Structure 1
Amino acid sequence: MASKRPPRWYFSLRSPYSWFAYRDLMAEHPEVLDTIDWLPFWEPDQETARLLAQEGVTLPIVAMSRAKNFYILQDTRRLATERGLTEITWPVDREPCWEVAHLAWIAAGDEGRGKEFVAAAYRARWQEGRNISDPAVIAEIAGDLGLDAQRLSTASQDAELRKRGAALLAESAHDGLFGVPFFITGRDKYWGLDRVAPFVRALQGTAGTAAAKATAPDPATHADLLPAGGDAGHAGGCG
Protein backbone atom coordinates (compact mmCIF):
# COMPACT_ATOMS: atom_id res chain seq x y z
CA MET A 1 0.00 0.00 0.00
CA ALA A 2 1.35 3.42 -0.96
CA SER A 3 2.26 5.63 1.98
CA LYS A 4 0.09 8.65 2.61
CA ARG A 5 1.66 11.86 1.37
CA PRO A 6 2.24 14.55 3.98
CA PRO A 7 0.38 17.87 3.90
CA ARG A 8 2.11 20.37 1.64
CA TRP A 9 1.96 23.82 0.21
CA TYR A 10 3.08 25.25 -3.09
CA PHE A 11 4.65 28.67 -2.81
CA SER A 12 6.17 31.05 -5.31
CA LEU A 13 8.82 33.66 -4.68
CA ARG A 14 7.18 35.71 -7.42
CA SER A 15 3.65 35.87 -6.01
CA PRO A 16 2.53 38.53 -3.52
CA TYR A 17 -0.34 36.26 -2.40
CA SER A 18 2.14 33.51 -1.62
CA TRP A 19 4.21 36.02 0.35
CA PHE A 20 1.17 37.12 2.37
CA ALA A 21 0.26 33.49 3.06
CA TYR A 22 3.80 32.85 4.27
CA ARG A 23 3.71 35.88 6.56
CA ASP A 24 0.29 34.96 7.95
CA LEU A 25 1.42 31.44 8.75
CA MET A 26 4.68 32.65 10.29
CA ALA A 27 2.78 35.10 12.49
CA GLU A 28 -0.11 32.87 13.54
CA HIS A 29 0.83 29.23 12.91
CA PRO A 30 4.60 28.81 12.53
CA GLU A 31 4.23 25.21 13.68
CA VAL A 32 2.30 24.48 10.49
CA LEU A 33 5.22 25.59 8.32
CA ASP A 34 7.46 23.27 10.35
CA THR A 35 5.30 20.21 9.70
CA ILE A 36 4.29 20.52 6.03
CA ASP A 37 6.29 20.00 2.87
CA TRP A 38 7.33 23.10 0.94
CA LEU A 39 7.18 22.89 -2.85
CA PRO A 40 7.99 25.73 -5.25
CA PHE A 41 6.10 26.83 -8.32
CA TRP A 42 7.17 29.26 -10.99
CA GLU A 43 6.70 30.04 -14.67
CA PRO A 44 9.42 28.01 -16.43
CA ASP A 45 11.83 29.38 -18.97
CA GLN A 46 12.37 27.69 -22.32
CA GLU A 47 14.86 25.14 -21.05
CA THR A 48 12.70 24.01 -18.13
CA ALA A 49 9.66 23.96 -20.41
CA ARG A 50 11.59 21.68 -22.74
CA LEU A 51 12.37 19.28 -19.90
CA LEU A 52 8.71 19.26 -18.91
CA ALA A 53 7.61 18.64 -22.49
CA GLN A 54 9.88 15.60 -22.64
CA GLU A 55 7.83 14.16 -19.78
CA GLY A 56 4.54 15.14 -21.38
CA VAL A 57 3.82 17.80 -18.76
CA THR A 58 2.02 21.04 -19.59
CA LEU A 59 1.57 23.60 -16.85
CA PRO A 60 -1.72 25.55 -16.64
CA ILE A 61 -0.14 28.94 -17.24
CA VAL A 62 -1.94 31.69 -19.10
CA ALA A 63 -0.86 35.25 -19.83
CA MET A 64 -2.15 37.79 -17.31
CA SER A 65 -4.43 40.45 -18.72
CA ARG A 66 -3.66 44.12 -18.20
CA ALA A 67 -6.86 44.49 -16.17
CA LYS A 68 -5.91 41.65 -13.83
CA ASN A 69 -2.42 43.05 -13.42
CA PHE A 70 -3.82 46.42 -12.31
CA TYR A 71 -6.27 44.67 -10.00
CA ILE A 72 -3.47 42.72 -8.29
CA LEU A 73 -1.51 45.94 -7.78
CA GLN A 74 -4.53 47.44 -6.02
CA ASP A 75 -5.35 44.29 -4.10
CA THR A 76 -1.78 43.90 -2.89
CA ARG A 77 -1.82 47.41 -1.45
CA ARG A 78 -5.03 46.63 0.42
CA LEU A 79 -3.71 43.37 1.81
CA ALA A 80 -0.45 45.00 2.87
CA THR A 81 -2.32 47.78 4.66
CA GLU A 82 -4.48 45.25 6.50
CA ARG A 83 -1.30 43.61 7.76
CA GLY A 84 0.43 46.83 8.77
CA LEU A 85 3.07 46.44 6.07
CA THR A 86 4.16 49.95 5.18
CA GLU A 87 7.46 49.11 3.50
CA ILE A 88 6.13 47.03 0.65
CA THR A 89 7.56 47.60 -2.82
CA TRP A 90 6.32 46.42 -6.19
CA PRO A 91 9.29 45.06 -8.16
CA VAL A 92 9.60 45.82 -11.83
CA ASP A 93 10.28 42.46 -13.50
CA ARG A 94 11.90 42.93 -16.88
CA GLU A 95 12.49 39.60 -18.61
CA PRO A 96 12.62 37.68 -15.31
CA CYS A 97 14.08 34.20 -15.09
CA TRP A 98 12.40 32.59 -12.11
CA GLU A 99 14.78 29.61 -12.20
CA VAL A 100 17.46 31.91 -10.75
CA ALA A 101 15.70 32.19 -7.40
CA HIS A 102 13.75 28.94 -7.24
CA LEU A 103 16.62 26.66 -8.21
CA ALA A 104 18.73 28.56 -5.69
CA TRP A 105 16.08 27.58 -3.12
CA ILE A 106 16.70 23.92 -3.99
CA ALA A 107 20.43 24.44 -3.47
CA ALA A 108 19.79 26.19 -0.15
CA GLY A 109 17.53 23.31 0.86
CA ASP A 110 20.38 20.90 0.24
CA GLU A 111 22.17 22.73 3.05
CA GLY A 112 19.12 22.64 5.31
CA ARG A 113 18.49 26.37 4.81
CA GLY A 114 15.61 26.42 2.38
CA LYS A 115 13.19 28.15 4.77
CA GLU A 116 15.70 30.85 5.64
CA PHE A 117 16.31 31.42 1.95
CA VAL A 118 12.58 31.88 1.32
CA ALA A 119 12.36 34.46 4.11
CA ALA A 120 15.35 36.36 2.73
CA ALA A 121 14.16 36.20 -0.88
CA TYR A 122 10.68 37.43 0.04
CA ARG A 123 12.18 40.27 2.04
CA ALA A 124 14.49 41.22 -0.82
CA ARG A 125 11.69 41.20 -3.38
CA TRP A 126 8.74 42.66 -1.52
CA GLN A 127 10.32 44.90 1.09
CA GLU A 128 13.57 45.97 -0.54
CA GLY A 129 12.48 46.06 -4.19
CA ARG A 130 15.40 43.93 -5.34
CA ASN A 131 15.44 41.78 -8.45
CA ILE A 132 15.65 38.15 -7.35
CA SER A 133 16.16 37.12 -10.98
CA ASP A 134 19.56 38.80 -10.76
CA PRO A 135 22.26 36.26 -9.84
CA ALA A 136 24.15 39.01 -8.00
CA VAL A 137 21.19 39.50 -5.65
CA ILE A 138 21.02 35.75 -5.02
CA ALA A 139 24.74 35.75 -4.29
CA GLU A 140 24.24 38.46 -1.67
CA ILE A 141 21.35 36.57 -0.08
CA ALA A 142 23.47 33.41 0.01
CA GLY A 143 26.37 35.28 1.55
CA ASP A 144 24.14 36.75 4.26
CA LEU A 145 22.96 33.24 5.09
CA GLY A 146 26.46 31.82 5.14
CA LEU A 147 25.79 29.66 2.08
CA ASP A 148 27.82 29.02 -1.04
CA ALA A 149 27.20 32.20 -3.03
CA GLN A 150 28.68 30.76 -6.21
CA ARG A 151 26.50 27.64 -6.17
CA LEU A 152 23.27 29.48 -5.37
CA SER A 153 23.79 32.34 -7.81
CA THR A 154 24.56 29.95 -10.66
CA ALA A 155 21.89 27.37 -9.79
CA SER A 156 19.99 28.08 -13.01
CA GLN A 157 23.08 26.93 -14.94
CA ASP A 158 23.32 23.61 -13.09
CA ALA A 159 21.88 20.78 -15.20
CA GLU A 160 21.10 18.58 -12.19
CA LEU A 161 19.26 21.37 -10.36
CA ARG A 162 17.36 22.04 -13.58
CA LYS A 163 16.16 18.46 -13.68
CA ARG A 164 15.16 18.54 -10.04
CA GLY A 165 13.30 21.81 -10.57
CA ALA A 166 11.44 20.41 -13.56
CA ALA A 167 10.48 17.37 -11.49
CA LEU A 168 8.99 19.64 -8.82
CA LEU A 169 6.98 21.53 -11.42
CA ALA A 170 5.78 18.24 -12.85
CA GLU A 171 4.68 17.24 -9.35
CA SER A 172 2.62 20.43 -9.14
CA ALA A 173 0.85 19.47 -12.36
CA HIS A 174 0.11 15.99 -11.01
CA ASP A 175 -1.30 17.62 -7.88
CA GLY A 176 -3.67 19.71 -9.99
CA LEU A 177 -2.16 23.06 -9.10
CA PHE A 178 -3.48 26.07 -11.01
CA GLY A 179 -2.35 28.95 -8.80
CA VAL A 180 -0.49 29.79 -5.62
CA PRO A 181 -0.60 29.62 -2.70
CA PHE A 182 -1.93 26.08 -2.97
CA PHE A 183 -2.34 23.78 0.03
CA ILE A 184 -3.07 20.06 0.11
CA THR A 185 -3.87 17.70 2.94
CA GLY A 186 -5.09 14.24 2.10
CA ARG A 187 -7.54 14.60 -0.78
CA ASP A 188 -8.47 18.16 0.12
CA LYS A 189 -7.02 21.13 -1.74
CA TYR A 190 -7.09 24.79 -0.76
CA TRP A 191 -6.27 27.56 -3.20
CA GLY A 192 -5.62 31.18 -2.38
CA LEU A 193 -4.75 33.44 0.49
CA ASP A 194 -8.25 33.22 1.93
CA ARG A 195 -7.93 29.44 2.23
CA VAL A 196 -5.01 29.54 4.68
CA ALA A 197 -7.26 29.38 7.75
CA PRO A 198 -9.42 26.48 6.46
CA PHE A 199 -6.25 24.56 5.61
CA VAL A 200 -4.90 25.09 9.12
CA ARG A 201 -8.20 23.98 10.64
CA ALA A 202 -8.12 20.85 8.50
CA LEU A 203 -4.62 20.05 9.74
CA GLN A 204 -5.67 20.62 13.33
CA GLY A 205 -8.79 18.50 12.93
CA THR A 206 -11.11 21.39 13.77
CA ALA A 207 -12.63 21.98 10.33
CA GLY A 208 -15.90 20.28 11.26
CA THR A 209 -16.21 22.29 14.47
CA ALA A 210 -15.66 25.56 12.64
CA ALA A 211 -18.18 24.64 9.97
CA ALA A 212 -20.78 23.69 12.57
CA LYS A 213 -20.52 27.13 14.16
CA ALA A 214 -21.30 28.87 10.89
CA THR A 215 -24.97 29.45 10.16
CA ALA A 216 -26.32 30.17 6.71
CA PRO A 217 -28.37 33.37 6.36
CA ASP A 218 -32.11 33.02 5.85
CA PRO A 219 -32.82 33.97 2.23
CA ALA A 220 -36.15 35.43 3.30
CA THR A 221 -34.57 37.93 5.66
CA HIS A 222 -31.16 38.42 4.04
CA ALA A 223 -31.96 38.79 0.37
CA ASP A 224 -29.23 41.42 0.12
CA LEU A 225 -26.63 38.70 0.80
CA LEU A 226 -27.67 36.51 -2.11
CA PRO A 227 -25.04 36.43 -4.87
CA ALA A 228 -25.80 37.96 -8.22
CA GLY A 229 -25.76 35.67 -11.24
CA GLY A 230 -22.42 34.72 -12.73
CA ASP A 231 -18.98 33.99 -11.37
CA ALA A 232 -17.76 36.69 -9.00
CA GLY A 233 -14.20 35.51 -9.36
CA HIS A 234 -11.53 34.87 -6.74
CA ALA A 235 -9.00 37.33 -5.43
CA GLY A 236 -6.55 34.86 -3.96
CA GLY A 237 -5.06 33.40 -7.09
CA CYS A 238 -1.55 33.03 -8.33
CA GLY A 239 -0.98 36.75 -8.61
Structure 2
Amino acid sequence: MPDPVEVKLFFNFRSPYCYLASKKLWPIVDDYDVRLLWRPVGGWHLRSSPDRAKSKMPLARQDVARFARRMGIPVNPPPVTTDPTRAGAGSLLAEREGLLRPYIVEVMRAEWAHGRDIGDTEVLLEVGERIGLAREALAAAIRDDALLAQLERNAAEAAELSVIGVPTFVIDEEIFWGQDRIDFVLDALRERRAARL
Protein backbone atom coordinates (compact mmCIF):
# COMPACT_ATOMS: atom_id res chain seq x y z
CA MET A 1 0.00 0.00 0.00
CA PRO A 2 1.46 3.42 -0.94
CA ASP A 3 2.42 5.90 1.74
CA PRO A 4 -0.05 8.70 2.54
CA VAL A 5 0.36 11.87 0.51
CA GLU A 6 1.85 14.62 2.65
CA VAL A 7 -0.10 17.88 2.50
CA LYS A 8 1.36 20.86 4.33
CA LEU A 9 -1.14 23.46 5.44
CA PHE A 10 0.07 26.93 6.33
CA PHE A 11 -2.60 28.70 8.37
CA ASN A 12 -3.01 31.96 10.29
CA PHE A 13 -6.04 32.13 12.58
CA ARG A 14 -6.43 35.87 11.86
CA SER A 15 -7.17 35.31 8.17
CA PRO A 16 -10.81 35.44 7.05
CA TYR A 17 -9.81 33.21 4.15
CA CYS A 18 -8.65 30.61 6.65
CA TYR A 19 -12.11 30.88 8.20
CA LEU A 20 -13.63 30.01 4.83
CA ALA A 21 -11.13 27.16 4.41
CA SER A 22 -11.99 25.79 7.86
CA LYS A 23 -15.46 25.03 6.50
CA LYS A 24 -14.37 23.22 3.33
CA LEU A 25 -10.91 21.68 3.64
CA TRP A 26 -11.95 18.46 5.39
CA PRO A 27 -12.53 16.28 2.29
CA ILE A 28 -8.74 16.45 1.89
CA VAL A 29 -8.33 14.29 5.00
CA ASP A 30 -11.68 12.48 4.97
CA ASP A 31 -11.67 11.23 1.39
CA TYR A 32 -7.96 10.79 0.69
CA ASP A 33 -5.05 8.95 2.26
CA VAL A 34 -3.29 12.08 3.45
CA ARG A 35 -0.91 13.00 6.22
CA LEU A 36 -1.73 16.60 7.09
CA LEU A 37 1.40 18.51 8.08
CA TRP A 38 0.01 21.33 10.18
CA ARG A 39 1.93 24.62 9.89
CA PRO A 40 0.25 27.37 11.91
CA VAL A 41 1.85 30.80 12.09
CA GLY A 42 1.13 33.78 14.32
CA GLY A 43 1.21 37.55 14.31
CA TRP A 44 1.49 39.15 10.88
CA HIS A 45 3.16 36.14 9.28
CA LEU A 46 1.74 35.34 5.83
CA ARG A 47 -0.65 38.29 6.05
CA SER A 48 -0.56 41.72 4.48
CA SER A 49 1.57 44.23 6.38
CA PRO A 50 -0.33 46.50 8.80
CA ASP A 51 -0.16 49.44 6.37
CA ARG A 52 -1.33 47.32 3.44
CA ALA A 53 -4.04 45.72 5.57
CA LYS A 54 -5.64 49.12 6.22
CA SER A 55 -6.36 49.66 2.55
CA LYS A 56 -7.00 45.99 1.78
CA MET A 57 -9.47 45.31 4.60
CA PRO A 58 -12.61 46.85 3.03
CA LEU A 59 -12.05 44.91 -0.20
CA ALA A 60 -11.25 41.66 1.62
CA ARG A 61 -14.36 41.99 3.78
CA GLN A 62 -16.55 42.42 0.69
CA ASP A 63 -14.88 39.43 -0.91
CA VAL A 64 -15.23 37.22 2.15
CA ALA A 65 -18.88 38.27 2.56
CA ARG A 66 -19.61 37.08 -0.99
CA PHE A 67 -18.01 33.69 -0.36
CA ALA A 68 -19.77 33.40 2.99
CA ARG A 69 -23.18 34.11 1.43
CA ARG A 70 -22.55 31.43 -1.16
CA MET A 71 -21.49 28.98 1.57
CA GLY A 72 -24.36 29.92 3.89
CA ILE A 73 -22.13 30.83 6.83
CA PRO A 74 -22.13 33.95 9.02
CA VAL A 75 -19.36 36.54 9.04
CA ASN A 76 -18.94 38.88 11.98
CA PRO A 77 -15.33 40.14 11.97
CA PRO A 78 -13.35 40.23 15.22
CA PRO A 79 -11.71 43.37 16.60
CA VAL A 80 -8.98 44.68 14.29
CA THR A 81 -6.48 44.38 17.16
CA THR A 82 -6.96 40.59 17.42
CA ASP A 83 -3.61 38.76 17.61
CA PRO A 84 -3.72 35.13 16.40
CA THR A 85 -0.44 34.03 17.95
CA ARG A 86 -1.84 32.35 21.07
CA ALA A 87 -4.46 30.54 18.98
CA GLY A 88 -1.67 29.22 16.77
CA ALA A 89 0.30 27.94 19.76
CA GLY A 90 -2.82 26.34 21.20
CA SER A 91 -3.43 24.54 17.93
CA LEU A 92 -0.16 22.66 18.36
CA LEU A 93 -1.44 21.27 21.66
CA ALA A 94 -4.78 20.42 20.02
CA GLU A 95 -2.92 18.56 17.27
CA ARG A 96 -0.94 16.58 19.84
CA GLU A 97 -4.18 15.67 21.66
CA GLY A 98 -5.96 14.56 18.47
CA LEU A 99 -8.31 17.56 18.59
CA LEU A 100 -6.93 19.72 15.80
CA ARG A 101 -10.01 19.63 13.60
CA PRO A 102 -12.52 20.72 16.26
CA TYR A 103 -10.02 23.29 17.52
CA ILE A 104 -9.66 24.88 14.08
CA VAL A 105 -13.41 24.84 13.45
CA GLU A 106 -14.37 26.23 16.85
CA VAL A 107 -11.66 28.89 17.12
CA MET A 108 -12.54 30.16 13.67
CA ARG A 109 -16.25 30.09 14.52
CA ALA A 110 -15.66 32.10 17.71
CA GLU A 111 -13.57 34.64 15.83
CA TRP A 112 -15.30 35.03 12.48
CA ALA A 113 -18.89 33.97 13.12
CA HIS A 114 -19.21 35.52 16.60
CA GLY A 115 -16.66 38.34 16.28
CA ARG A 116 -14.69 37.38 19.38
CA ASP A 117 -11.07 38.28 20.05
CA ILE A 118 -9.08 35.03 19.93
CA GLY A 119 -6.10 36.88 21.35
CA ASP A 120 -8.07 36.92 24.61
CA THR A 121 -6.97 33.97 26.75
CA GLU A 122 -10.47 33.40 28.13
CA VAL A 123 -11.95 33.05 24.64
CA LEU A 124 -9.42 30.35 23.78
CA LEU A 125 -9.95 28.54 27.09
CA GLU A 126 -13.71 28.50 26.49
CA VAL A 127 -13.15 26.96 23.07
CA GLY A 128 -10.72 24.46 24.53
CA GLU A 129 -13.18 23.36 27.19
CA ARG A 130 -15.92 22.98 24.60
CA ILE A 131 -13.83 20.56 22.53
CA GLY A 132 -12.29 18.63 25.42
CA LEU A 133 -8.88 20.26 25.91
CA ALA A 134 -7.81 20.56 29.53
CA ARG A 135 -8.02 24.21 30.58
CA GLU A 136 -4.70 24.19 32.42
CA ALA A 137 -2.88 22.50 29.54
CA LEU A 138 -4.21 25.01 27.01
CA ALA A 139 -3.44 27.95 29.29
CA ALA A 140 0.17 26.73 29.46
CA ALA A 141 0.40 25.94 25.73
CA ILE A 142 -0.61 29.40 24.51
CA ARG A 143 2.35 30.86 26.42
CA ASP A 144 4.81 28.03 25.84
CA ASP A 145 8.07 29.37 24.42
CA ALA A 146 8.73 26.14 22.50
CA LEU A 147 5.33 26.26 20.79
CA LEU A 148 5.66 29.97 20.03
CA ALA A 149 9.08 29.23 18.53
CA GLN A 150 7.47 26.54 16.35
CA LEU A 151 5.18 29.20 14.86
CA GLU A 152 8.29 31.19 13.90
CA ARG A 153 9.92 28.12 12.37
CA ASN A 154 6.76 27.49 10.37
CA ALA A 155 6.90 31.04 9.04
CA ALA A 156 10.55 30.55 8.08
CA GLU A 157 9.67 27.31 6.31
CA ALA A 158 6.92 29.12 4.42
CA ALA A 159 9.43 31.73 3.26
CA GLU A 160 11.81 28.99 2.07
CA LEU A 161 8.99 27.46 0.02
CA SER A 162 7.92 30.86 -1.39
CA VAL A 163 4.55 30.65 0.36
CA ILE A 164 3.13 34.18 0.38
CA GLY A 165 -0.25 33.91 2.09
CA VAL A 166 -2.79 31.77 3.89
CA PRO A 167 -4.30 29.32 3.64
CA THR A 168 -1.70 27.58 1.53
CA PHE A 169 -1.51 23.87 0.79
CA VAL A 170 1.75 22.33 -0.40
CA ILE A 171 2.00 18.91 -2.05
CA ASP A 172 5.51 18.01 -3.21
CA GLU A 173 6.55 21.03 -5.32
CA GLU A 174 3.02 22.29 -5.93
CA ILE A 175 1.70 25.28 -3.99
CA PHE A 176 -2.03 25.96 -3.75
CA TRP A 177 -2.68 29.41 -2.27
CA GLY A 178 -6.16 30.32 -1.15
CA GLN A 179 -9.35 28.72 0.12
CA ASP A 180 -10.70 28.86 -3.44
CA ARG A 181 -7.92 26.48 -4.57
CA ILE A 182 -9.10 23.55 -2.46
CA ASP A 183 -10.70 21.93 -5.51
CA PHE A 184 -7.28 21.94 -7.16
CA VAL A 185 -5.81 20.25 -4.09
CA LEU A 186 -8.46 17.55 -4.43
CA ASP A 187 -7.64 17.22 -8.15
CA ALA A 188 -3.96 16.77 -7.28
CA LEU A 189 -4.83 14.04 -4.78
CA ARG A 190 -6.99 12.26 -7.37
CA GLU A 191 -4.11 12.44 -9.84
CA ARG A 192 -1.93 10.77 -7.22
CA ARG A 193 -4.58 8.03 -6.82
CA ALA A 194 -4.79 8.85 -3.14
CA ALA A 195 -8.55 8.34 -2.73
CA ARG A 196 -9.52 6.15 0.21
CA LEU A 197 -10.92 2.81 -0.96
What's 1:93 paired with? 80
Letter in 1 for 2:58: F
**Is the counterpart of residue 151 in structure 1 residue 137 in structure 2?**
yes
Once residues 142 and 28 of structure 2 are traced to their aligned partners in structure 1, the CA distance between those partners, rounded to angstroms, is 32
The correspondence of residues 1-239 of structure 1 with structure 2, limited to 5 A, is 6-26=6-26, 29=28, 31=30, 35=34, 36-43=36-43, 62-63=49-50, 64-85=52-73, 87-94=74-81, 96-205=82-191
Larger radius of gyration: 1
Greater relative contact order (CA < 8 Å, ≥ 6 in sequence): 2
Distance 1:197 1:205, change over 3 A: same
What's 1:232 paired with? none
Q: Is the 8 A contact 1:100 1:153 kept in 2?
A: no
Q: Is the 8 A contact 1:80 1:88 kept in 2?
A: yes
Letter in 2 for 1:99: T
The Cα shift of 1:38 comes to 2.4
Task: List runs of 5+ in structure 2 lacking aligned partners.
Answer: 193-197
Letter in 2 for 1:88: V
TM-score (norm 1): 0.69
Once residues 122 and 155 of structure 1 are traced to their aligned partners in structure 2, the CA distance between those partners, rounded to angstroms, is 18
CA displacement 1:15-35 (0-9 Å, x = unmatched): 111121231223x55525872
In terms of fraction of residues, the more strand-rich structure is: 2
CA displacement 1:59-111 (0-9 Å, x = unmatched): 785332433111011111111111122x32111132x3322111011112221
Letter in 2 for 1:39: R
**CA RMSD across the alignment:** 2.6
Distance 1:162 1:202, change over 3 A: same
Once residues 10 and 16 of structure 1 are traced to their aligned partners in structure 2, the CA distance between those partners, rounded to angstroms, is 14
The Cα shift of 1:185 comes to 1.1
**Identical pairs, percent:** 27
Once residues 17 and 169 of structure 1 are traced to their aligned partners in structure 2, the CA distance between those partners, rounded to angstroms, is 18
Once residues 110 and 182 of structure 1 are traced to their aligned partners in structure 2, the CA distance between those partners, rounded to angstroms, is 21
Q: Give SS of 2:43's match.
A: coil
Letter in 1 for 2:69: T
What's 2:195 paired with? none
Task: List runs of 5+ in structure 1 lacking aligned partners.
Answer: 46-58, 207-239
